[in-house]
Amino acid sequence: MMYHIDSSDTVGLSDMYGIDPDSTVTHSDIMYHTDSSDTVGLSDMYGIDPDSTVTHSDMMYHIDSSDTVGFSDMYVIDPDITVTHSDMMYHTDSSDTVGFSDMYDIDPDSTVTHSDMMYHTDSSDTVGLADMYDIDPDITVTHSDIMYDIYYNYTFKKMVFIVLDSNDPRQHMN
């Protein structure tokens, strides 16, 4: 799910970013893209200078009003507020904080677990990453399945994140 460093049927983030499936892709490459090599990472999607140093906090939370762009921007969170991991991932209350659970149409006042968000292994109303990849919601999906070994016998569907500005280069994750 993360790297897809061979040409097998495994589907990973490196495919989504147009990285040669036979190349070696590191976590730093795929997450931050801190140099101007051909490696493509999340920082490119967020319009971060590919030669700059991007931290995990920058990418995930964007808790200040600097030029650094992170997930919180995609979710229309005030860039000057403090955003916690729980806020970003689960959004378990009806505050102004926006998280992944909103993208998946989960009731913002419900309790959302990590398993709900990542796997969606039952046919409840909870929506998780497994749905985005068209995995049968009633199958058992393991962490290894969703992260590394999703094969094409489950139809792979690329994520598309929608942002407010249609001209924003971050709009599509192709």
- Domain assignment present for residue 22? The answer is yes
The torsion of the CA quartet 173, 138, 146, 61, rounded to 10 degrees, works out to 60
- Domain assignment present for residue 92? The answer is no
Per the prediction, the chain carries an average pLDDT of 44
C-beta contacts of 63-72 below 8 A and 24+ residues apart: 69/170, 70/46, 72/98
Q: Are 36 and 51 in contact (CB under 8 A)?
A: yes
More confident residue, 128 or 165: 128
Q: At residue 8, does pLDDT exceed 50?
A: no
Q: What digits encode the pLDDT tens for the residues 50-100?
A: 455 555 444 444 434 444 444 444 444 444 555 554 444 444 444 444 444
Q: Are 12 and 148 in contact (CB under 8 A)?
A: yes
pTM of the model: 0.20
- Domain assignment present for residue 20? The answer is yes
Residue ranges making up the domain that contains 18: 1-46
Q: Which two tokens stand for residue 167?
A: 């001209």
- Domain assignment present for residue 149? The answer is no
CA–CA gap between residue 136 and residue 62 (Å, rounded): 34
The torsion of the CA quartet 158, 164, 170, 174, rounded to 10 degrees, works out to 20
Percent with pLDDT over 90 in the chain: 0
Q: Tell the residue number behind the tokens 């995609």, with chain if given.
A: 74
User: How many domains does the structure of the chain reveal?
Assistant: 1
